[in-house]
């Protein structure tokens, strides 16, 4: 299991060898890129095997070509399904297509363009033949639909990325015209249609060879970088950052943000150094994550070990995952900030420095995020909006301006422009990183220093998330958890005050269970992207009490798993 806080006891292998978490990757840790790419084309999934079918989780379809879960067949079928879906919905505008730096993103991109071209769907691709962060696609969709939908039709998007997942993985997700992650109404339809196409024979899907597809009138080069970077002043006080002369280290972890940080530095004349600028599909420069895997998780102290080690070289250091929808904040005084701590600080700062935001706009958080956020929001006299895990729950509110900020404990968030209008409806790790620099420039405090003030005012909590392996059947059992599974009346010495399987903000199912007392809570749910389950827990009584909460939570999960 993983203990998320940096002070946890390191895992030790049964043979007595200490885990290499946080250590540089070695040759034995690297995936064979040629083998991975060959498998994309050569291995054909069996649609009768559930593990080899198209499956859209919380962040689209993910898998690996080596396990026949992310292959040419999947992408051809999923793209054709999106074509069929958008046709049924009457979307006639362009589809913005972006990809990250994972090895499988390149062949999947080519397959996607071939299918779109054969269906005469207008596709907007990067004019640099480069990589495109997830938030940039969201920003492009919203901008088009605000300015050009009447004349050109509604636009949507495809992002080819498995986010922070290991180098052997690929990912494929769909963003409808609202610009954010597709809801289950869309993903269920696309998933079912794609699997039908697999069963019927994916080879019959029409495709235009990419050499020709790239030269068709419907395939258009689009300057994603300029459209996004030149608009940043509307959401972040870039002038304050420049005037303060803050030295910033930005680590894209070899991902899609690498050129964007260069562009941001150049346009706004910042003292910014891009750390780890190398693009390597094997991600050989990474330090190993908690389980000795290469994972571009900018919220993990192990994956971010090299940037944390360099923290004294900058006034502020920031990181992003491979598609830049997540953020990691590193300060000289505290190292890598806990994602919950930074969310609390970011919300506190924004509510005090965005006078044009609507007073009625709510502050969104997932129900597995810290109660410190609740207290910060209450102190500002604002309304909390608490939803299940998944950024899709914030999309409508951000788009309408009725939600000013939406954030997840996994270091993903976005917020409104300075004038109170929508910026993005998908997570944006770039603006959350820049916000940390704005805070330092405007207040003179690092985000971690400001958090110390908030903790003194509202109380300090102990929070952790543990992950453990779970197969699809076990994950399905966890998803069915409800109040009837809790037969105890006490949790870690306190009476249980609330047991819920739905979120208080919108009454949507949380896909698991949350149990609360006056002094603590835990939530258990299966991961939507990996074969693990997660237990989130928080205590107002310190680390020992937190450990007791976690122990009793694990006992409940174990009883369900049998």
Q: How confident is the model at residue 2 (pLDDT cuts 50, 70, 90)?
A: very low
Question: Catalytic: which of 65, 163, 448, 539?
Answer: 163
User: Is domain 462-561 given the CATH code 3.10.100.10 in the classification?
Assistant: no
Give the chain's radius of gyration (CA, Å). 23
- CB distance 527 to 479 below 8 Å: no
Q: Is the pLDDT of residue 148 over 60?
A: yes
> pLDDT tens across 526-551, in order?
886 677 888 999 999 999 999 999 99
> pLDDT tens across 509-529, in order?
998 999 999 999 999 998 866
Fold matches, 43-228 and 462-561:
no
Say what the pLDDT of residue 39 is: 98
First to last CA, the chain: 18
- CB distance 102 to 162 below 8 Å: yes
Fold of 43-228: Alpha-D-Glucose-1,6-Bisphosphate; Chain A, domain 3 (3.40.120)
Say if strands 247-251 and 316-320 run parallel, antiparallel, or are unpaired.
Answer: parallel
Say what the pLDDT of residue 432 is: 98
Report the distance separating Cα 303 and Cα 322, nearest Å: 12
Tokens 């389950």, located at residue: 533
Kindly list the domain boundaries of the chain, sorted by start residue. Answer: 43-228, 230-458, 462-561
- CB distance 503 to 388 below 8 Å: yes
- CB distance 374 to 396 below 8 Å: no
Say what the pLDDT of residue 18 is: 66
CB neighbour burial string for 232-259, b if at least 16 within 10 angstroms, e if fewer? beebbbbebbeebebebbbbbbbbbbbb
Q: How confident is the model at residue 480 (pLDDT cuts 50, 70, 90)?
A: confident
Q: How confident is the model at residue 59 (pLDDT cuts 50, 70, 90)?
A: confident
> pLDDT tens across 375-405, in order?
999 999 999 999 999 999 999 999 999 999 9
Backbone angles phi, psi at 193, to 5 degrees: -65, -40
Please give the CATH superfamily to which domain 230-458 belongs: Alpha-D-Glucose-1,6-Bisphosphate, subunit A, domain 3 (3.40.120.10)
Q: Is the pLDDT of residue 495 over 90?
A: yes
Lowest mean pLDDT among 213-217, 493-497, 524-528: 524-528
Q: Is the pLDDT of residue 426 over 90?
A: yes
Q: Under 8 Å CB-to-CB from 369, ≥6 apart: which residues?
A: 340, 343, 407, 408, 409
**Considering only CA atoms, which of 486, 556, 494 is closest in space to residue 520?**
494
> pLDDT tens across 450-468, in order?
999 999 999 999 999 888 7
Q: DSSP per residue over 56-90, as a string? A: EEBTEEEEEGGGTSSSHHHHHHHHHHHHHHHHHHT
Say if strands 156-160 and 362-366 run parallel, antiparallel, or are unpaired.
Answer: unpaired
A 10 A CB-CB count for 57 gives 17
370 is catalytic: no
- 491 or 8, higher pLDDT: 491
Say what the pLDDT of residue 532 is: 81
Q: Is the pLDDT of residue 16 over 80?
A: no
Phi-psi domain of 161 (left: phi exceeds 0; alpha: psi -120 through 50; beta: other): beta
């Amino acid at each position: 299991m993983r203990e998320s806080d940096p002070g946890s006891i390191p895992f030790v292998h049964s043979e007595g060898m200490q885990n290499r978490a946080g250590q540089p990757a070695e040759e034995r840790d690297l995936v064979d890129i040629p083998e991975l790419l060959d498998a994309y084309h050569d291995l054909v999934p069996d649609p009768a095997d559930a593990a080899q079918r198209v499956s859209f989780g919380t962040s689209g379809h993910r898998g690996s070509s080596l396990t026949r879960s992310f292959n040419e067949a999947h992408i051809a079928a999923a793209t054709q399904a999106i074509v069929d879906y958008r046709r049924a919905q009457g979307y006639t505008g362009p589809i913005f297509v972006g990809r990250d730096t994972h090895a499988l993103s390149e062949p999947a991109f080519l397959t996607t363009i071939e299918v779109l071209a054969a269906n005469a769907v207008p596709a907007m691709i990067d004019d640099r033949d480069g990589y495109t962060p997830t938030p940039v696609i969201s920003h492009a969709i919203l901008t088009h639909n605000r300015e050009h939908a009447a004349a050109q039709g509604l636009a949507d998007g495809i992002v080819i990325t498995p986010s922070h997942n290991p180098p052997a993985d690929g990912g494929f997700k769909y963003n409808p015209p609202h610009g954010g992650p597709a809801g289950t109404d869309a993903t269920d339809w696309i998933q079912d249609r794609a699997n039908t196409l697999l069963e019927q024979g994916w080879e019959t899907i029409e495709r235009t060879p990419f050499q020709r597809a790239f030269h068709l009138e419907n395939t258009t080069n689009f300057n994603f970088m300029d459209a996004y970077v030149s608009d940043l002043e509307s959401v972040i006080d870039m002038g304050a950052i420049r005037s303060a002369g803050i030295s910033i280290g930005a680590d894209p972890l070899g991902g899609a943000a690498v050129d964007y940080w260069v562009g941001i530095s150049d346009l706004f004349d910042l003292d910014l150094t891009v750390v780890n600028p190398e693009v390597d599909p094997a991600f050989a420069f990474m330090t190993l994550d908690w389980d000795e895997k290469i994972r571009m998780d900018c919220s993990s102290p192990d994956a971010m070990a090299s940037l944390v080690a360099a923290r004294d070289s900058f006034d502020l250091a920031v990181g992003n995952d491979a598609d830049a929808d997540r953020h990691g904040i590193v300060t000289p005084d505290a190292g890598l900030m806990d994602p919950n701590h930074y969310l609390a600080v970011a919300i506190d700062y924004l509510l005090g420095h965005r006078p044009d935001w609507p007073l009625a706009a709510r502050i969104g958080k997932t129900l597995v995020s810290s109660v410190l956020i609740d207290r910060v929001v209450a102190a500002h006299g604002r309304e909390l909006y608490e939803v299940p895990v998944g950024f899709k729950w914030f999309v409508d509110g951000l788009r309408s301006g009725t939600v000013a900020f939406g954030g997840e404990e996994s270091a993903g968030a976005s917020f409104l422009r300075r004038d109170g209008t929508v910026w993005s409806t998908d997570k944006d790790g770039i603006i959350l990183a820049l916000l940390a620099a704005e805070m330092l420039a405007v207040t003179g405090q690092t985000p971690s220093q400001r958090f110390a003030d908030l903790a003194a005012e509202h109380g300090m909590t102990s929070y952790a998330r543990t992950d453990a392996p779970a197969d699809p059947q076990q994950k399905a059992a966890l998803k069915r958890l409800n109040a009837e599974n809790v037969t105890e009346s006490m949790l870690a010495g306190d009476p249980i005050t609330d047991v819920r399987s739905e979120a208080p903000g919108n009454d949507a199912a949380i896909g698991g269970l949350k149990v609360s007392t006056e002094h603590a809570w835990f939530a258990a749910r299966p991961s939507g992207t990996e074969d693990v389950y997660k237990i989130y827990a928080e205590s107002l009584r310190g680390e020992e009490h937190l450990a007791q909460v976690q122990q009793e939570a694990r006992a409940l999960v174990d009883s369900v798993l049998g």
